[in-house]
Chain A
Amino acid sequence: MTTIAFGRTGMRAVILALAVCSGFAAVATAPAKLCVYEPCATNKDGKWPLPPLPYPYDSLVPHIDNKTMHFHHDIHFAGYTNKTNKALSERGNLPPYLEKLAGNMSLEGMMYVVESEPDSANLTYFVNNGGGYLNHKMYFATMAPPGSPGQREPTGALLDAIDAQFGNFTAFKDEMTSQAKSVFGSGWAFLVVDPENSNGLLVTSRPNQNSPYMDGVIPILGLDVWEHAYYLEYGPNRGDYIDNWWQVLNWTMVEKAYATATTSS
């Protein structure tokens, strides 16, 4: 079952069709492609796990402080994880098309079929917390201590795509920084892959924990500009935090995510 020619409407139809099929094992490359950061499957108990930080809490100092890493991962990310699992375990509250997918699909796949305007409190709860889980999963996975192997500018296919879309890496960095600075209130800036636009790259932003998956694009890099991400170290100075965030990125992980997002099934 190829997905390339489908576009979002087609892909969404494929995913929804899964919901009525009983044999999930037969399909699945379409949704799997949407998940570009582990974990892409729940634990044996059907719960999405809180992935441990892949580096010491204090290893991003002085760019991101130890206290923030503890609070951000162990409290905020953990909170989103718990509430996502709660939303899924009380899946009777979700609209039927989502309820059928729960337990059989990546969260990314579920988020992909959610319409951008949640129209119920229960759906809003799922979107806020599921989005929080997905966004933070990506955020912590794409950072690494200064000096580690992934810590250099992007290379290979991802760099080619950046050059093609933005001209050069600096122009892309400026665009993402500018959008991150312009977010009013809480939100994120993202680098996304658009499967409907020949897998072209796009920089975009979203309020609160809204996930770009809801709009049919695949985020491969996310910059958290909620105040909790930077306030302890930087106070109101979001610009300084953003400058420092660029210095702790793990481009190896982002390149892998890009490869996953752009590989045809």
Chain B
Amino acid sequence: MKAISATKATTAKVAGARGIRATCAGRRSVSARAVPLPDLPYDYGALEPYISGDIMKLHHQMHHGTYVKNFNGLLEKQADMENKGDYAGLISIQQAIKFNGGGHVNHSIFWNNMCAKSDYVEPSGALGKKIEETFGGLEALQTKMSAMSAGVQGSGWGWLAYDPAKDSIFVTTTANQDPLVTKGDFVPLLGVDVWEHAYYLQYKNKRPDYLANFFEVVNWKDVEARFAAATA
């Protein structure tokens, strides 16, 4: 079930990124449209002292930048293979598409999930209520999400997710750059990157310290907007 959801979601996203042209001979050919590296909605230093400017710059330009570059190359390859009817080749690159496309999808959410401390407000409204009902309050949610994210073995992400089928929110994790959709038809509300590159320069091995500081700069307005869109 989960694999099918992932394929559907991936296909939908890829179809959106491609243009479909009809050639004179009446056969469709696909072309890949390059995905841009999104700008951060704030300066690199805006999350200091919670997350250092050095980390933000490297993380955005090098890590996310590399995922975007690789993803674009793969999308072109995929379009080319589809045009040539090389389906074995097309299938063989799907793992790399999951890695790099997942990296792009996850980081795009992540940058928007954060804001400068001066802009920080606690969750309220419908999401605030949902958090209260589900976890008992913001602190309880943060404790649970921190614990699960700290426990990720190796590289991965912690997520606050929405399950449309149950109209519920829950905390979960994914490995490497697997997007949340690889776990089921869930909507990512809030993600925290726990790859070592996300915190090592500042926090070294102290992932729990990083997580505590991450929660100081969560952009709950953005999280509320995602929840509102998912429950509309």
Considering only CB atoms, which chain B residue lies closest to A235 in the complex? Answer: B58
B155 near A231 (CB under 8 angstroms)?
no
Q: A184-B99, A227-B195, A227-B197 are in contact. Are A207 and B154 (CB under 8 A)?
A: yes
Contacts of B154 in A (CB 8 A): 185-187, 207-209, 226
A184 to B197, CA, bound (A): 13
- Picked from B175, B197, B204, the residue with its CB within 8 Å of the CB of A236 is B197
Alpha-carbon separation in the docked complex, A71 to B155 (Å)? 18
Residues on A with beta carbons closer than 8 Å to the beta carbon of B195: 185, 227
Would B204 and A75 count as touching, CB distance under 8 A? yes
Tell me how far the C-beta of B226 lies from the nearest C-beta in chain A, rounded to whole angstroms. 25
CB-CB under 8 A from A209, the residues of chain B are 153-154
- Residue B20 lies at the interface, judged by CB distance under 8 Å to chain A: no
Q: Does A154 contact B (CB under 8 A)?
A: no
Interface residues of B (CB under 8 A from A): 58, 62-63, 66, 99, 153-156, 175-177, 195-197, 200-201, 204-205
Query: Among residues 202 to 234 in chain A, which have CB atoms less than 8 Å away from a CB atom of chain B?
Result: 207-209, 226-228, 231-232
Distance of A114 Cα from B204 Cα, bound (Å): 31
Within A227-247, which residues are at the interface with B (CB < 8 Å)? 227-228, 231-232, 235-236
B-side contacts of A208, CB under 8 Å: 153-154
Q: Which of B99, B175, B200 has its CB near the most chain A CB atoms (within 10 A)?
A: B200
Q: Say yes or no: is A91 at the interface (Cβ < 8 Å to chain B).
A: no
Given A186-B154, A187-B154, decide whether A231 and B66 contact each other with a Cβ distance below 8 A.
no
Which residues of the partner chain B approach A76 to less than 8 Å between Cβ atoms? 205
Known: A128-B153, A185-B154. A71 touches B204 (CB 8 A): yes
* Beta-carbon contact of B175 and A231 below 8 Å: no
Assess whether A236 is in contact with B66, with CB atoms less than 8 Å apart. Answer: yes
Instruction: Specify which chain B residues have a CB less than 8 angstroms from the CB of A51 in the assembled complex.
Output: none
The reply to whether B58 and A228 contact each other, CB–CB distance below 8 Å, is no
Contact check: which of A79, A124, A184 meets B205 at CB < 8 Å? A79
**Contact mask for chain A residues 57-72; partner B; CB cutoff 8 A; 1 contact, 0 none:** 0000000000000010
Give CA–CA (A207, B99) in the complex, Å. 14
Using a CB–CB cutoff of 8 Å, the interface residues on chain A facing chain B are 71, 75-76, 79, 124, 128, 184-187, 207-209, 226-228, 231-232, 235-236
**Bound-state Cα–Cα, A78 to B62, Å:** 30
CA distance A209 to B62 in the complex (A): 25
Q: Which 8 A-B pairs have the closest CB atoms?
A: A186-B154, A227-B196, A185-B155, A185-B176, A208-B154, A236-B62, A231-B200, A186-B155
Output the nearest chain A residue to B198 by Cβ-Cβ distance: A227
CB A238 to nearest CB in B, in angstroms, measures: 10
Which one of B153, B156, B176, B201 lies within 8 Å of A231 (CB-CB)?
B201
Contacts of B197 in A (CB 8 A): 227, 231, 236
Verify A236–B58 contact, CB threshold 8 A: yes
Inter-chain CA distance A236–B64, complex, in Å, is 11
- Which residues of A lie under 8 Å from residue B153 when comparing CB positions? 124, 128, 208-209
Residues of B close to A71: CB separation below 8 A = 204-205
Q: How far is the CA of A227 from the CA of B204 in the complex (A)?
A: 11
CB of A161 to closest CB in B, whole Å? 31
How many whole Å from A234's CB to the nearest CB in chain B? 11
Question: Are A75 and B205 touching (Cβ within 8 A)?
Answer: yes
Q: CB distance B63 to A236 under 8 Å?
A: yes
Per the bound structure, the CA–CA distance linking A228 and B200 in Å amounts to: 7
Q: Smallest distance from the beta carbon of A228 to chain B beta carbons, Å?
A: 5
Q: How far is the CA of A186 from the CA of B176 in the complex (A)?
A: 8
Using A184-B99, A185-B175 as known contacts, say yes or no to A235 and B196 having CB atoms under 8 A apart. no
Contact assessment for B204 and A185 in the assembled complex, using a CB-CB cutoff below 8 Å: no
Q: How far is the CB of A111 from chain B (nearest CB, A)?
A: 16
Q: Given A227-B195, A228-B196, A236-B58, does the pair A185, B156 have CB atoms closer than 8 Å? A: yes
How far, in Å, is B164 (CB) from chain A's closest CB?
29
20 A-B pairs with CB atoms under 8 Å apart are A71-B204, A76-B205, A79-B205, A185-B154, A185-B155, A185-B156, A185-B176, A185-B177, A186-B154, A186-B155, A207-B154, A208-B154, A209-B154, A226-B154, A227-B200, A228-B200, A232-B201, A235-B62, A236-B63, A236-B66
